[in-house]
A and B are shown apart, each in its own frame.
Chain A
Amino acid sequence: MAATWQDAFELPDGTAAPSAPEPAEPEEERRGVLSRLRDRLSKSRQALADELTASLGETLDAETWERLEETLILADVGAPTTARVVGELETEAESGSVDAPEQARERLIELLAETAEPGNGRIDLTQRPAVVMVVGVNGSGKTTTIGKIAWHLQRELGLSVVIAAADTYRAAATEQLETWAQRAGCEIVKGSPGGDAGAVAFDAISAAESRGADVVIVDTAGRLHTHGNLMQELAKVRRVISKRLEGAPHETLITIDSTTGQNGLRQAQAFSEAVEVSGVVLTKLDGTAKGGIALAIAGELGIPVKLIGVGETLEDLRPFDAREFARALLGS
């Protein structure tokens, strides 16, 4: 189970596991950040957990199943996945292996965690340079996510990173990424506004090779998955990357805003068809949204969540923990 940044990434054989990271900030301040985060997260969740526990009652009955379903639907898990998971639990209860509401909840957390973790949840950085492409709809948090990944890889894992600013469409996207690159202390390869995104990715890989950099992260312009021409353009960027470097991109991550509802499933599906998505980054989990759509994506499309974003600071991008996520879905 990924819990630390070291665990979240698969590094090349022979490379010693990087030493424990230098704390980026004084220990005390760091603790401050984390506890602030926990406070923020627990506020709404605690209320929900209390409500759910109280409403589950003493015995397992139709009411219990309804409550659990309601909780999951309100978390954006979606009707089909909710029905499947709660149905499974109900069957187990009928066979007698689960008999109290509290036990049912614990078992449900296990079932949810299993659903959330299809296959390998680690990000593959075994190749040199490892190319990570980041895609997603407008406003889902691509640029911010890339900035934070770059920072963690560069500062905490000691890898050298090149960012490809291949979002040549959105106004000021490159400037936004430049700010992040500065913070991370990594290199950035830029194109001209409206220029060819594939060319930027191409140049970035060349730059990484000539400098012996470890990782290339390719930012792409946000696009709605329903725009066929833009999706074809994205597929082209991927083709350019794999022509330039065999086997690349080694990871293609899609950012999904956790406030997204059932449309998230279609996003993941359409992007997968265009560029073979290998993982989800679930962003903006610091609000009251639970990001349950990620469970539907994992369950129905088999794409695992790899990272989560829980805030605006650099520490707020974290490896995904399926059990913790499942608990949060049920509000505990």
Chain B
Amino acid sequence: MFDQLSDRLQSTLSEVRSRGKLSEADVDRAMREIRLALLEADVNFKVVKSFTAELKERCLGAGVLDSLDPGQQVVKIVNEELAKLMGGAGREIVLAPSGTSVILMAGLQGSGKTTACAKLAKQLAKDGRTPALAACDTQRPAAIEQLVTVGGRAGVPVYEKGTDPDPVEIAEWALNRARAEDRDVLIVDTAGRLHVDEELMDELAAIKKRVKPHDVLLVLDAMTGQDAVNVATEFAERTDFDGIVLTKLDGDARGGAALSVKAVTGKPVMYASTGERIEELERFQPERMASRILGMGDVLSLIEKAEEVSDQQQAEELERKIRKQEFTLEDFLQQMRQLRRMGPLSNVLGMLPGMGGAMKQLKGANMDDRELDRLEAIILSMTPEERRRPEIIKGSRRKRIAQGSGSTVQSVNQLTKQFAQMQKLMKQLAEGKMPSPESIARSASRSGGPRFTR
């Protein structure tokens, strides 16, 4: 696969370093790699073709700086151009200054509309709005029950009338009710429909005509392939949607469909759904998506997430402890919990550039959230004294901890060993010797990897 386009480009172009300018043959080879990477990412074939044609022009004109290698240079250009194509200025959803604004959600079956409705409602509520949900999916069995449940989780009222009335009527009724109950946003969930289903597309257009939404959002699965273009074109024609909610980005799909849709319809991606939890909906970041499509990681998102969950004071305290080498298992536990608040481990690691390979290693070692659960259990089975001074954990203490946490003596051993190693690493850090990622990886593999329990 093309986990590291930048690596491949760099090796493709490694021999042209210091020639000063990229030749046409060099660029053609680079374009081939880019085309393959974009196709692997599900960017539409036609979009890829026109994109690489433009890209080629720009690369031919670009001089190669001595300090950068040509591969890097091309990567930089690709990234810039992609971000340009993806983005433009992101836009917010449009809400009326007074009265009840309506947001209409549409999309194919299984794209994640119902969940997206609840997530959006939760976000709006967090921003001080008073949203309500309208259940207009009368097609799929139990769709209404699902909306009621997820609406409940979001703490937002759900207006439903069962499956008998016409969805157009339900939408209008819900809007009147939202107005009467002084709700400032009504999010209308609709049935999933195929873009070629005339009847249902007519119905969607009718709902739109009746409730006059301020924004229509197309919900698009990030795993969508080449067909995204047809879907988006058709929905754009029939509903003239304003923006896209890209769902299931917590998987490993590159999400090239988002690029295709933007290129073909000009409509921006506004939100990205990144997990199963109700609060996992983010404002969409074009530059980051560009990197993801190219398989280059997403450092920005990671940093932002880390900032979101960590508090400044805690961070300073931690730094002091590391400097003074007072970092205990207690602190470790706290760190671990913080890491987990950033979302599932696979998400967090996936955002690191160059982690494609490391991710696989971790998978091999089964380092996932379950593993963290076990670690937590072990630490929680220690006394405060033991957490501060793990070196006192010997014979009977080890046994007690193993029993208390439902793990084995070996696992407890491994944890304390690894912790000692970590302390050593921190000591180096404190002394100003920044260890290279390789040495961290080496030290991890020396101890047999993070295989704490089994």
Contact = CB atoms under 8 A, between A and B. Distances in A.
Interface string A59-99: 00000000000100111101100000000000000000000
Interface stretch (B122-130, B141-149, B172-180, B208-216): B141-149
A261 B223 CA distance: 6
Contacts of A293: 225
Interface string B174-216: 0000000000000000000011100000000000000000000
Interface in B238-264: 248, 250-254, 256-257
Interface string B349-385: 0100000000000010010111000000000000000
Contacts of A175: 141-142, 145
A266 interface: yes
A141 B141 contact: no
- Of A70, A139, A257, the most chain B CB neighbours within 10 A belong to A139
Contact of B370 (A44, A76, A170, A232): A232
A139 B109 CA distance: 7
A287 B253 contact: no
- Of B145, B253, B363, B370, the most chain A CB neighbours within 10 A belong to B253
B40 A79 contact: yes
A288 interface: yes
Nearest to A171: B149
A43 interface: yes
Given A172-B143, A176-B140, A227-B346, A137 B251 contact: yes
Given A262-B225, A286-B194, A226 B251 contact: yes
A259 interface: yes
- Interface magnitude class on chain A: 35 or more
A229 B368 contact: yes
A319 to B, nearest CB: 22
Interface string A224-237: 11111100100000
Nearest to B369: A229
Interface in A82-126: none
A19 interface: no
Contacts of A262: 39-42, 225, 254
A323 interface: no
A175 B143 CA distance: 9
Interface string B256-290: 11000000000000000000000000000000000
Interface in B20-56: 36, 39-42, 44-46
A210 interface: no
A261 B149 contact: no
A179 B221 contact: no
Nearest to A142: B110
A312 B197 CA distance: 11
B195 A228 contact: no
B252 A266 contact: yes
A140 interface: yes
B420 interface: no
Given A79-B40, A172-B146, A226-B346, A260 B225 contact: yes
Contact of B256 (A70, A79, A173, A261): A261
B141 A176 contact: yes
Contact of A171 (B41, B46, B146): B146
A257 B149 contact: no
Contacts of B346: 226-228
Nearest to B145: A172
A152 interface: no
Contacts of A327: none
Given A79-B40, A260-B223, A263-B42, A288 B230 contact: yes
Contacts of A232: 368, 370
A137 B227 contact: no
Contact of B226 (A74, A172, A226, A228): A74
A289 B227 contact: yes
A287 B108 contact: yes
A236 to B, nearest CB: 11
A141 B231 CA distance: 18
Contacts of A172: 142-146, 148-149
- Of A78, A137, A259, A267, the most chain B CB neighbours within 10 A belong to A259
B142 A173 contact: yes
B150 interface: yes
Contacts of A238: none
Given A44-B196, A261-B226, A266-B252, A228 B40 contact: no
A176 B36 CA distance: 40
A229 B148 CA distance: 27
A39 to B, nearest CB: 11
A241 B206 CA distance: 48
B250 A226 contact: yes
Contacts of B345: 228
B108 to A, nearest CB: 7
Contacts of A292: 225
Given A171-B149, A261-B253, A287 B231 contact: yes
Contacts of B150: 171
Contacts of A73: 39, 45, 226
Contacts of B101: none
B63 interface: no
B225 A261 contact: yes
Contacts of B221: 139, 257, 259-260
A261 B38 CA distance: 12
Contacts of A287: 108, 194-196, 227, 230-231
B225 A76 contact: yes
Ranked 9 nearest A-B pairs via Cβ: A261-B225, A139-B110, A261-B42, A171-B149, A228-B368, A172-B145, A179-B141, A175-B142, A176-B142
24 contacts: A40-B196, A76-B226, A79-B36, A79-B40, A172-B142, A172-B143, A172-B145, A176-B142, A176-B146, A178-B142, A179-B141, A179-B142, A228-B363, A229-B369, A259-B227, A259-B231, A260-B221, A261-B228, A261-B253, A284-B108, A286-B194, A287-B108, A289-B230, A312-B139
Given A178-B141, A288-B195, 18 more contacts: A74-B44, A137-B251, A139-B109, A176-B140, A178-B142, A224-B248, A226-B251, A228-B346, A259-B227, A261-B228, A261-B253, A261-B257, A262-B40, A262-B225, A263-B253, A264-B225, A267-B223, A286-B194
